[in-house]
Copies of this chain bind each other. A is one copy, B any other.
Amino acid sequence: MPLVYVTRHLHFSAAHRLHSSLLNDESNAHLYGACNNPLGHGHNYDLEVTVVGEPDPVTGMVIDLKELKEIVQREVIDRMDHKFLNFEVESLQGMVPTAENIVIAIWQLLKDQFHTCRLYELKLYETPRNMAVYRGE
Contact = CB atoms under 8 A, between A and B. Distances in A.
Interface of A: 2-9, 11, 13-16, 18, 20, 22-23, 31, 33-35, 37, 39-44, 50, 55, 57-62, 64-66, 81-84, 87-88, 95-101, 103-104, 127-137
A93 to B, nearest CB: 13
Give the number of times this chain occurs in the complex, counting copies. Answer: 6
Nearest to A82: B34
A44 B130 CA distance: 12
A78 to B, nearest CB: 10
A71 B81 CA distance: 23
A43 B13 contact: yes
A18 B66 CA distance: 14
B96 A60 contact: yes
A98 B34 contact: no
Given A61-B98, A81-B34, A131-B7, A42 B42 contact: yes
B39 A99 contact: no
Contacts of A23: 58-59
Contacts of A57: 22
